[in-house]
Chains A and B, each alone.
Chain A
Amino acid sequence: MKNVLRLNSIGAMAVRILFAAVAAFPIVFMLVSSLKPDQQIFGDMSSVAAFLPIGNISLDNYTAVFDRVPAARFLINSVGVSAVTVVLGIFVNSLCAFALSRMQVRGKRVVFTAILATLIVPFQTLALPLVWWVNQLPYFELNGFSLEISKGWLDTYQVQIIPFIANAFSIYLYHQYFESIPKELDEAARIDGAGWFKIYRQVVMPLAGPATATVAILTFLPAWNSYLWPLMVVQSEELRPVMIGIQYFFQLNVSWGEVMAYASLITVPVVVLFIAFQRSFINSIASSGVKG
């Protein structure tokens, strides 16, 4: 009996290892290929050597990446844009959801439905009108002691952040989560003299940790992967995010080693983030049923 159980557990472990290996193969291939010259990448392609760091291994592709693309600048831009979008997104969307969940306002159901309805409109259909809109917005700039106003947000950081702070899905997630928090807690806080913002800040938000983790992850990933929008609204190299950088490598003669090196570089922050927040990530999936 003991032997059968042991065999079962070995079998289960083998299946898990197999699944883990299948999932890891693309990442291993990317990392390994980033260390090889092009000729060797293609030469190893039909054998297991494609997944092994053997042969002519070097960091030359990484050096070439930094020669071809201002990768450090792109990484800083993406980290900054993603971080600000996440933090402001959590604040704005939770506040909106809190109002819709807790406050007795006429027509709030209509407002909530209208917000949800925006989910069915794909971003691609809004992109061009949005470009026009952001180009009409005023831009304030401090020049010495005078405040200068110009028109148009194109080619700025805020145009990469602000349109993506308010998010219907984040509002929905927070709203559903807030609905599960007993309203008696608010009432108790009100009796203690708390106002709406204090209830939001000290009662509701502290209990909404899993929802916040989910929203953070679901906001971070599209912000990090953002491609179409910055392509349309950012012209200066200094303001470009990492995903635009990948296109720098697709010239007539593509250097696949450099492509892999750059892909590895821009994957690392996401992997680090995932490892750091692995527990919250799994908890958020389990509690919300939403996969990032």
Chain B
Amino acid sequence: MNKRFTRILATSIAAAALMGSLAACGKGSASATSEGGNEITMWTHNAGNPDELAAIKSVVDSYNKSGAAKAQIKVQAFPQESYNDSVVSAAAAGKLPCIVDIDGPNVPNWAWAKYLTPLKLSVDLSKNLPSTVAKWEGETYAVGYYDVALAMFARASDLKAAGIRAATVEKPWTKEEFQDALTKLKALGKWQYPLDMGTAGTGEWLPYAYSPLLQSFGGDLVNRDGFQTADGALNSDKAVEWAAWFRGLADQGFMAKKSGKDSTQDFLNNKSGIVYTGSWAADKARKALGKDLAVMPSVDLGNGPKIGGASWQWGVTSGCKNSEAAMDYLSYSLKPENIAAVAKATGTIPATDEAAALLPAFAEGGDNRVFMELSRQQAVMRPETPAYPFIATEYGKAVQDILAGADPKTVLDKAVKAIDANIKSNGGYKN
């Protein structure tokens, strides 16, 4: 046994030595968040997205190599799904980097929590897509290179076979037309459910995808006048109407209460006639369907068609010791060619017309120009309040309960109560 114990000890020492040597290999980055010398760190959410990451790194490289760089920027990439948790933990430990990217609707919360400082950039942001500039309490805290837009995809041949007109940006479907279209598509007998609304989605998808439908009905997530209560907005008659309508899509057999995990792929595999998705899926769908792909705007449910605005954006942290360099880099990165490069890599809508002109797909007459129009005409910002992450969670739960068959009014009242209590317990989220 003496030998066995010695073996365990030897293994332990060998393993510790291995970790030591690995630590030495990773030493350069072990203290990456401590911003020493003339280097500042930038965190981004796209570790699992090689194309976007490469585009961001390319912008950073060109800045670092430019003679005018006020600091060397170092990129650290995190997976998107867990990015927010990493930022919140780092903030708790006082280890935030100088530059972070942020999902647009979270900007007010991060600004309120003092993670972010107002931007002082040397570029004019007035011509950017409004949804790519995040403001709170009159200050700009973040700016993005791109936005994405929700839309409905269908096969033009299916619409023709069912005798349905394709909706356009100028003339979207009304609620009645949508009902008629779904009835006709179902009658074709090609699919169990003609519509895929991505009901298996979780997290931010739920408010991003479904709150514009609520807003098109005339409801909202919160009363935007001061953002102090959701009462009268999320549980209004219009909101209850929306909930009943949404649930009705499932009850009538038009959509599954829980769709497949990948709605776009299911649509391409002809498991649905219409998929509610976004600009990010357009290139894949067009590659598979070619000219048969019909990109249609969201339905006008009474108050005009609406889609969610704001995607990932960049901000500077309040603890940054070299914020001047951070602002300088962000200003540099907003050049049209940089915006275009990132938008091209991600298949997203470039934030400015100048950048769009550099991308044939988004230039006038381009295949993806429609998304730019949708973003300009229909985007509604998710409520610009620090309470948004909580509101989003409550709304997501309410959507799932409604789909599961709960009484809409009861569910929405419950969500309102929770949201109001949260706002109150945080002192109204005052600055």
The judgment on whether A and B are partners is yes
Residues of A within 8 A of B (CB): 38-39, 42-43, 67-69, 76-77, 80-81, 83-84, 87-88, 90-91, 128, 131-132, 135, 150, 152, 154-158, 161, 201-202, 205-206, 228, 231-233, 235-239, 244-245, 247-254, 256
**B280 proximity list for chain A (CB < 8 A):** 252-253
Give the Cβ gap from B30 to chain A, nearest Cβ, in Å.
5
* Count of inter-chain pairs, beta carbons less than 8 A: 149
Q: Residue of A at shortest CB range from B283?
A: A253
A113 to chain B, nearest CB (A): 29
Nearest CB in chain A: distance from B105 CB, A:
16
Residue in B5, B80, B90, B92 whose CB lies within 8 Å of A250: B80
Q: Evaluate contact between A132 and B92: CB separation under 8 angstroms.
A: yes
Are A69 and B48 touching (Cβ within 8 A)? yes
Given contacts A84-B16, A237-B29, 6 further A-B contacts (CB under 8 A): A135-B94, A228-B85, A233-B89, A235-B86, A239-B30, A247-B47
Contact B29–A231 (Cβ < 8 Å): no
**Known contacts A68-B50, A128-B92, A247-B82; is-contact A87 B12 (Cβ 8 Å):** yes
**A83 and B15 within 8 A (CB):** yes
How close is B24's CB to chain A, nearest CB, in angstroms? 10
Interface residues in chain B, defined as those with a beta carbon under 8 Å from any beta carbon in chain A = 1-2, 4-5, 8, 11-12, 15-16, 18-19, 22-23, 25-26, 29-34, 43, 46-50, 76-82, 85-86, 89-90, 92-95, 148, 260-262, 264-266, 268-269, 271, 278, 280-281, 284
**Out of A154, A201, A202, A253, which one reaches B93, CB within 8 Å?**
A154
Q: Provided the pairs A252-B281, A256-B262 are in contact, do residues A236 and B19 lie with their beta carbons within 8 angstroms? A: no
Which of B12, B33, B46, B93 has the largest number of chain A CB atoms within 10 A? B93
Known contacts being A43-B269, A132-B93, is A76 close to B22, with CB within 8 Å?
A: yes
Determine how close the nearest CB of chain B comes to the CB of A162; give it in whole angstroms.
Answer: 11
Q: Within the complex, which residue of B8, B43, B49, B77 is in contact with A87, where a contact is CB–CB below 8 Å?
A: B8
Residues of B within 8 A of A231 (CB): 82, 85-86, 89
- Contacts A/B (CB < 8 Å), 25 sampled: A39-B268, A43-B269, A81-B19, A84-B19, A91-B8, A131-B89, A135-B95, A152-B95, A154-B95, A155-B33, A157-B23, A158-B23, A201-B2, A205-B5, A231-B85, A232-B86, A235-B32, A235-B90, A239-B29, A248-B48, A251-B46, A251-B80, A253-B281, A254-B261, A254-B262
Q: Report the Cα distance A50→B1, complex, angstroms.
A: 49
Q: Residue of B at shortest CB range from A84?
A: B15
With A128-B92, A155-B29, A235-B33 known to touch, is A248 a contact of B12 (CB < 8 Å)?
A: no
Asked if A42 and B77 make an inter-chain contact with CB atoms under 8 angstroms apart, the answer reads no
Per DSSP, are chain B's interface residues mostly helix, strand or loop, or mixed?
A: helix
Q: Decide if B1 touches A205 in the complex (CB within 8 Å).
A: yes
Cβ contact within 8 Å between A236 and B80: no
* Smallest CB separation, B344 vs chain A (Å): 15
Q: How far is the CA of A158 from the CA of B264 in the complex (A)?
A: 42
Which residues from chain A contact B264 at a C-beta distance below 8 Å?
253
Instruction: Identify which of A88, A155, A250 contacts B81 (C-beta below 8 A).
Output: A250
Contact of A256 with B48 in the complex, beta carbons under 8 Å: no
CB atoms of A239 and B81 under 8 A apart: no
Which B residues touch A152, using CB under 8 A?
34, 93, 95
**Do the beta carbons of B79 and A155 come within 8 Å of each other?**
no
In the complex, the chain B residue whose C-beta lies closest to that of A155 is B30
Q: A205-B1, A232-B85, A247-B81 are in contact. Are A253 and B284 (CB under 8 A)?
A: yes
Contacts of A256 in B (CB 8 A): 261-262, 265
Contacts of B16 in A (CB 8 A): 84
Q: Which residue of A lies closest to B278 (CB)?
A: A252
Shortest distance between the CB of A210 and any CB in chain B (Å): 14
Residue in B2, B33, B262 whose beta carbon sits within 8 Å of that of A42 in the complex: B262
Contacts A42-B269, A238-B25, A251-B48; is A80 near B15 (CB within 8 Å)? yes
Are B12 and A238 touching (Cβ within 8 A)?
A: no
Residues of B within 8 A of A80 (CB): 15, 18-19, 22
When the two chains form their complex, are residues B29 and A238 in contact, meaning their CB atoms are under 8 A apart? yes
Residues of the A chain whose Cβ atoms lie less than 8 Å from the Cβ of B148: 252
A209 CB to nearest chain B CB (Å): 9
Contact in complex: B8, A90 (CB < 8 Å): yes
A131 to B90, CA, bound (A): 9
A87 to B15, CA, bound (A): 9
Residues of A within 8 A of B271 (CB): 42
| A202 vs chain B, min Cβ distance (A) | 6
The docked-state distance in angstroms from the alpha carbon of A251 to that of B47 is 9
* Least distance between A260 CB and chain B CB atoms (Å): 12
**Residue among A91, A128, A228, A251 with most chain B CB within 10 A:** A251
- Chain A positions within 8 Å of B30 at CB level: 155-156, 236, 239
Whether B265 contacts A157 by the Cβ 8 Å rule is: no
A39 touches which one: B31, B77, B269 (CB < 8 A)?
Answer: B269
Say whether A237 contacts B76, CB under 8 Å.
yes
